């Protein structure tokens, strides 16, 4: 069972002011979860979660996370600008980018962010641009397949990110020779992992590598960044991750590998996006039309431009029909948006209670990589983002786009001025 954090009465009253579709976030859920994360890693003195801004790039969300002790993980110029506007600076910012333009590095350097290099060639690129900072991080890609208990989790050998092992050892030597004094190590090996063993396994790989690099190069590690990839239970029958167990697993590897090698002062960083936000966001949409052809379709006023994951990855997002939670799911629908793209389906062959025009649907787990992946195809406009505050009031944290936003980039000509 997945229970929405708003009920039908709340949704109806919100819709009077903010028409569907919209994304809504649960402040209480976000804060409680962030506190669990802090608690799970409290054993590590320097621990910091750098929220992956790309997951939910909204300044109101970033400020909540800042109050909970988080930093930010940015990968682009505008993400850096947003983070700066929210008051993040210096080592509160990780800059984990790839195929990085010069102006992005320059801004990251100006803000004093922890720069995480994605590639060996970026050592020279950064050095020529603005010199190597005293603290610098490199991203590792072990290649091959990443397996746990004989189950392939992901395929780093096919991933575009990071340095190979020999490159990273050579890279740290060069960075040290160029004047860097403190170092970070980073890797992201699998996405949306729903097992408590992912971080501990990754930690083991990175800790062993850090010991080896420190022995071979004399580079002293300030932090090891486990990056993102901790998943959530999108399906109601899945078991979610237990962050306390994950923290304990990382601690076990830390005590086994780093401490005996005199590296007990290394800080653990994370860059979770999905785990921090996904369950605490809903996409709220209304049923507009039905269509009875070779299949039964329920058309809603949201579309893939508001939530791309089902269209892009075939991802499952649970749907609750508000006010019909207790009715039997004895109908089967494809729930579709209105893009002229047949993959614009939030659900395929989904058992649901009998729907009526005007029913309010909650699409679950859209708090991360939801609104953020939105786009304007078919001239669809981005929706509003709302925040359900801890006192149950609702705050607009991004207004919905209007046609003039859509036409704003034609402001150099007179076509859309009246």
Ligand X SMILES: *Cc1c(COP(=O)(O)O)cnc(C)c1O
Nearer to ligand X, 333 or 371 (CB): 371
**Residue 133: count of CB within 10 angstroms of its CB:** 19
Dig out the tokens for 261 from the structure.
């090698």
Distance of closest approach, residue 276 Cβ to ligand X, in angstroms: 8
* 23-57 per-residue burial string, b: 16 or more CB within 10 A, e: under 16: bbbbbebbbebbeebbebbeebeebbbbbbbbbbb
365 binds ligand X (CB under 6 A): no
* Cα separations in angstroms, 266 against 99, 151, 328: 28, 30, 53
The DSSP line for 273-326 is: SHHHHGGGEEEEEEEEEEEESSSEEEEES--TTT--HHHHH-----EEETT-TT
C-beta of 277: minimal distance to ligand X in Å? 8
**How far is it, in rounded angstroms, from Cα 54 to Cα 269?**
17
Nearer to ligand X, 41 or 188 (CB): 188
Q: Return the number of the residue (266 or 368) whose C-beta is nearest ligand X.
A: 368
Binding mask 36-75 for ligand X (x = CB under 6 A): ----------------x-xx-----------------x--
Does 122 engage in binding with ligand X (CB under 6 A)?
A: no
Binding test (CB under 6 A) with ligand X, winner from 57, 273, 279, 367: 273
Q: Which stretch in 107-115, 224-232, 256-264, 315-323 sits in contact with ligand X by CB under 6 A? A: 224-232
What is the rounded distance in angstroms from the CA atom of residue 319 to the CA atom of residue 27? Answer: 21
Asked if 227 touches ligand X (CB under 6 A), the answer is yes
Binding mask 274-313 for ligand X (x = CB under 6 A): xx--------------------------------------
DSSP 8-state class, residue 249: H
Task: Establish if 228 lies at the interface with ligand X (CB under 6 A).
Answer: yes
Span interacting with ligand X, options 249-257, 267-275, 316-324, 335-343, rule CB under 6 A: 267-275
Longest CA–CA separation in the chain, Å? 72
Nearer to ligand X, 74 or 180 (CB): 74
Only segment of 222-230, 253-261, 315-323, 336-344 that touches ligand X (CB under 6 A) = 222-230
Closest contact distance (angstroms) between CB of 359 and ligand X is: 31
Q: How far apart are CA 275 and CA 243, in angstroms?
A: 9
Q: Which residue among 92, 271, 301, 365 contacts ligand X (CB under 6 A)?
A: 271
Site residues for ligand X, 86-105, by CB under 6 A, read 96
Q: Which is nearer to ligand X, 278 or 360 (CB)?
A: 278
**134-150: b (≥16 Cβ within 10 Å) or e:** ebbbbbbbbeeebebee
Rounded CA separation 75/119 (Å): 14
Contact 183, 133 (CB under 8 A): no
Residue 162 binds ligand X, judged by CB under 6 A: no
Burial of 258 (0-12, 13-18, 19+ CB in 10 A): buried
Q: Which two tokens stand for residue 163?
A: 């340095």
Q: With contacts defined by CB under 6 A, how many residues of the chain interact with ligand X?
A: 17
Tokens representing 366 are 């859209």
| Among the residue ranges 76-84, 176-184, 266-274, 284-292, the one whose residues contact ligand X (CB under 6 A) | 266-274
Q: Write the burial class of residue 185 (CB in 10 Å: 0-12 exposed, 13-18 middle, 19+ buried).
A: buried
- CB nearer to ligand X: pick between 193 and 214: 193
Residue 51 CB, shortest distance to ligand X, in Å, is 9
* 72/111 with CB nearer ligand X: 72
Q: Which of 203, 209, 257, 368 binds ligand X (CB under 6 A)?
A: 368
Asked if residues 281 and 232 have their Cβ atoms less than 8 Å apart, the reply is no
Residue number, nearest CB to ligand X: 228
Of 76, 164, 167, 191, the one binding ligand X by CB under 6 A: 191
Binding site for ligand X (CB under 6 A): 52, 54-55, 73, 96, 188, 191, 227-230, 271-275, 368
């Amino acid at each position: 069972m997945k229970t929405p954090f708003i009920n039908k009465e709340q949704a109806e009253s919100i819709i009077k002011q903010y028409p569907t579709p919209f994304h809504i976030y649960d402040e209480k859920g976000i804060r409680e979860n962030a506190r669990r994360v802090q608690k799970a890693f409290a054993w590590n003195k320097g621990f910091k979660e750098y929220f992956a801004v790309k997951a939910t790039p909204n300044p109101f969300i970033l400020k909540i996370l800042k109050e909970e002790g988080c930093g930010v993980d940015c990968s682009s110029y505008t993400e850096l600008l947003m983070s700066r506007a929210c008051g993040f600076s210096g080592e509160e910012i990780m800059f984990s980018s790839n195929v990085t333009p010069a102006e992005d590095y320059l801004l990251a350097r100006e803000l004093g962010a922890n720069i995480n290099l994605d590639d060996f060639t970026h050592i020279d690129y950064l050095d020529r641009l603005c010199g190597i900072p005293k603290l610098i991080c490199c991203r590792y890609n072990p290649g091959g397949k990443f397996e746990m208990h004989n189950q392939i989790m992901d395929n780093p050998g096919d991933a575009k990110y990071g340095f190979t092992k020999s490159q990273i050892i050579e890279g740290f030597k060069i960075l040290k020779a160029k004047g860097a004094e403190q170092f970070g190590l980073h890797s992201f090996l699998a996405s949306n992992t729903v097992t408590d063993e992912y971080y501990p396994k990754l930690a083991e790989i990175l800790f062993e590598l850090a010991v080896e690099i420190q022995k071979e190069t004399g580079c002293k590690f300030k932090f090891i960044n486990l990056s993102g990839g901790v998943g959530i239970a999108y399906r109601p029958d899945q078991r979610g991750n237990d962050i306390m167990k994950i923290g304990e697993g990382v601690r076990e590897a830390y005590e086994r590998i780093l401490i005996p090698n005199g590296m007990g002062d290394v800080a653990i960083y994370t860059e979770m996006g999905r785990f921090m936000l996904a369950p605490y966001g809903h996409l709220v949409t209304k049923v507009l039309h039905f269509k009875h052809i070779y299949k039964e379709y329920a058309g809603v006023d949201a579309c893939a431009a508001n939530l791309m994951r089902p269209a892009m990855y075939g991802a499952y997002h649970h749907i609750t029909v508000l006010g019909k939670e207790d009715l039997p799911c004895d109908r089967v629908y494809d729930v579709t948006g209105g893009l002229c793209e047949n993959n614009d389906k939030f659900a395929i062959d989904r058992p649901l209670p009998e729907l009526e025009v005007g029913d309010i649907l909650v699409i679950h787990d859209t708090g991360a990589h939801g609104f953020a992946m939105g786009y304007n195809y078919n001239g669809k406009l981005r929706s509003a983002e709302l925040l359900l505050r801890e006192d149950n009031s609702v705050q607009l944290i991004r207004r919905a786009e209007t046609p003039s936003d859509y036409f704003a980039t034609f402001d150099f000509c007179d076509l859309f001025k009246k």
